[in-house]
Amino acid sequence: MYKIIFLLIINTIFSSNCDINFNNAINERAIYSIGDTLSFEDQNLLYPVCNGNDIYDDDDTFSFSDLNGNLSNDYQITIISMNATWWPACYDYISWMDDLLEYVKNYEEIFFFVSLDYNIDGYQTEQEYYSCQEWASLYTELGEFGNIPLIINGDPDHRMWHMFSGTAYSAYAFIDHNMVVKYLLDSPNLNDFKYVYIPSLINSMYGCTDQYACNYKSSAVYDSDVCLYQNDCGDINSDNNINIFDVILLVNLILSNSYDYIADMNVDNNLD
C-alpha cells in the first residue's frame, strides 16, 4: 500500500498567534518554492532521529529518499511543519497536531513526522526549554489522544527550516509523492489540513495508470481500476455513442453537483 508521510516540524514561539517573522533571519527566503522538486542532494541529507516510532528507532537517521517511491516503489507524501523549542509558548499547536495524528490513523498512507530546532543565533535563550523526549511527552500532556510522533533533530544548521521557510516560525510544507513541493504555509489550519490538503494529495496518487486510456492520469502511481477506452470516454448513458444525450446528462450532473468519472473527460475530478 502506498503511504503518505505526514512530516511535521513543529515550531513553538512567543506570539499571540504562534507566528513570528524573522526579517533579519539567517535566510531571506526558502530554498524551495511551490512547484519545485527536491534535489537528489537534499533528498539524501541525513537527519538524526531523536524520538523513534514503529519504523525508526532512536538514533536512526531519516532522509527524504526514504519517501521517494521512484527508489523504493513505496510512494509517500510528506507534510512538514517547522518549530523551535527555544521559545515555548504555542502549546495549542501540539494539541492540534495530536488531533491530526488521530485523524490520519484512518489512512494507511499517512505518516506523521516532527523535526525540532533548538536555537537560532540572535534569537536563542539562555537554556534549552525542552529536550527531544520532553517535547514528545508534551503530546501526552497537552493532547487529547496522546499520540507521540516520530521526531528528528533539526539542529545545528536548521537545514529543514532553510529548505522550506527561512524567515518565519511556524511554517508548514506539503510535498507530494513525486518529491514536488505543493503547499507552503505560515501557520496550521487543522480543518484545511484534514479536508483540503490531505485529500487532494491522496487523490493525486490514484487513478488510471494506463497511458493508452483516454482518462490516463500522469500523477497516479496506484491504479484504481477506472481506465476508459474509446467510446467509454464520455459515454455517460452507456449506449456506445457520444451524442447530445450524453451532453444533457453531463449538464444535469453539473447542475445537481454530482460526479461520474465517465463524464470527467479531462480527469480533474470535476465536471465542468
Tell me how far the alpha carbon of residue 157 is from its chain's centroid: 23
Per-residue pLDDT of the chain (272 residues; tens, 9 = 90+): 555 555 555 443 333 445 555 544 444 457 899 999 999 999 999 999 989 988 899 999 999 999 888 888 888 888 887 777 766 556 668 888 899 889 988 887 887 788 887 655 555 555 557 788 888 898 899 999 999 888 988 765 778 888 988 676 777 889 998 899 999 988 788 999 999 999 999 999 999 999 888 888 888 999 999 888 866 677 666 666 767 776 777 777 777 777 666 666 655 666 65
The whole-angstrom separation of Cα 173 and Cα 165 is 8
The phi, psi pair for 211, rounded to 5°, reads -65, -15
- Model confidence, pTM: 0.76
